[in-house]
Amino acid sequence: MRTAVVVGGGLGGLAVSGALARSGWQVTLLERADRIRPEPAAVVLWPNGVRALRALGLGAGLDAIATALPDGGVRRPDGHWLVQPRPTPAERLPVVVHREDLHDALIAGLGERVELRTGVTVRTVRAAAGERPAVGDGRHTYEADLVVAADGTDSVIRRQLAPGSGVVSSGCAAWRAVIPWYRAPSLPDSVGGEILGAGYRFVAASLGERGSSGASSRGGIYWMATAAGAARPEPPETQLALLRRWYAGWPGPVDDLLAATDPADLVQREIRELRPLPRSFGFPAGPDGVVLLGDAAHAMPPHLGQGACLAFEDAATLAVLLRESTLPDAVMAYDRARRPRAAAVVRQTRRMSAVLRTRGRLALRARDAALGTITPRLLGTAATIAAQWRPPT
């Protein structure tokens, strides 16, 4: 029986662990925390992420927890439309899912061949010719035919295997929250779309329908705000007060959503990325190998909503290649398939980052005037990228 060690119990780590187990692998999943728990927020999945989850055999569970996210267009803080909402084919629309619901679906898909070990902080990795791949925490060594590094942006494994790739700040911070239905404001129109300002962005989406028995039990309204600058060190109460001040006067439903948000709802993250990307996502080790997956391979800002989608693409691609090739060949094929794809998405995300960081009156006027014409190249890039990817066959 082939064996794998997956380091990291995030969305990507759970997805690839379940996929390998369903293919007959014996998997050891190592997680640094004492228990695996998702953020109390939500995640937007574009069609490529949905397609990847279906390829992993998780489509039925996704259908029960996902809510379609209609095209809501793009506005300025004064309410002026930069990009009008437009009819979009259903297969090109993203969906929004509560992270806790998605986490539960991934946990349910692990099966009996996955051994979960929590409280394990991986400190070393071995990927040398003539030796089986392994990771260690200073007390134990975990050997396997395959090691999957899904240990996030600060991946210890990537730092040792690809030291030329470093983590840098993207120059902004993000806040997320889910307002449960019992506390969510009554809004006259459907929630959706985004608003772009000078270094600020606000996006909102409904998680199911209010009062619908078929909606997620964790339904409500999800919002995400990004602002140029470093993460704030103040307590959540102060951070929320700052957000209300920064976004005061923005078009509805921004004021109402921030007013209905409790400090306990707030999740803040500094936005960081890898520069440059690793030169390889796969590292053969004799007849076996190590691969980088998810943020460990291609951490990027969330502006195009592709972080989780690419992690699921990684997992689906790796699962197919391991079924069709011997291990060292599959490791190299994985690198050839995933690195160009990730690099293309990162390039577009960085272009979006430059737009969001635009400051100054003249620069903003030029940005606003150009947005309507560059939509197919920039704001429409996420939909185009999402429509391109198919699982390898």
Report residue 301 as tokens. Answer: 């800002």
CA distance 290 to 305: 27
Report residue 156 as tokens. Answer: 């210890």
63 CB contacts (<8 Å, ≥6 apart)?
Answer: none
Cα–Cα distances in Å, from 276 out to 165, 191, 347? 5, 36, 11
On the question of a cis peptide bond just before residue 328, with omega within 30 degrees of 0, the verdict is: no
CA distance 117 to 119: 7
3-state DSSP call for residue 97?
A: strand
C-alpha closest to that of 179 among 223, 224, 221: 221
CA distance 368 to 379: 12
67-68 sheet: strands from edge to edge: 42-45, 95-98, 67-68
On whether the CB atoms of residues 283 and 290 are closer than 8 A, the answer is yes
Residue 170: how many other CB atoms lie within 10 Å:
23
What is the pLDDT, as a whole number, of residue 380? 64
Residue 85: how many other CB atoms lie within 10 Å:
13
Residue 167: how many other CB atoms lie within 10 Å:
16
In sequence order, the β-bridge partners of residue 226 are: 174, 201
On whether the CB atoms of residues 282 and 331 are closer than 8 A, the answer is yes
CA atoms lying within 13 Å on the CB side of residue 235: 4
In 3-state terms the chain splits into helix, strand, coil percentages (rounded to 5) of: 35, 25, 40
**249 in the Ramachandran plot: left (φ > 0), alpha (ψ -120 to 50) or beta?**
left
What's the CA angle centered on 327, arms 323 and 331, to 5 degrees?
A: 100
Phi, psi of 179 (to 5 degrees): -90, 115
**202 in the Ramachandran plot: left (φ > 0), alpha (ψ -120 to 50) or beta?**
beta
In sequence order, the β-bridge partners of residue 135 are: 125, 142
CA distance 84 to 234: 37
Q: How far is CA 378 from the centre of its chain?
A: 19
CA distance 344 to 243: 32
What is the pLDDT, as a whole number, of residue 91? 77
C-alpha closest to that of 350 among 171, 206, 211: 171
Report residue 347 as tokens. Answer: 């390039």
E strand segments, 103-197: 114-118, 124-126, 134-136, 141-143, 146-149, 166-180, 194-196
pLDDT digit of tens for each residue in the chain (393 aa)?
899 999 999 999 999 999 999 999 999 999 999 999 998 999 999 999 999 999 999 988 898 899 988 888 888 888 888 888 888 887 788 999 999 999 999 999 998 999 999 999 999 999 988 889 999 999 999 999 999 999 999 999 999 999 999 999 998 999 999 999 999 988 765 567 888 887 889 999 999 877 654 444 578 999 999 998 889 999 999 999 999 999 999 998 999 999 999 999 999 999 999 999 999 999 999 889 999 999 999 999 988 889 999 999 999 999 999 998 899 999 999 999 999 999 999 988 887 777 665 555 655 565 566 555 544 456 666 667 767 898 887
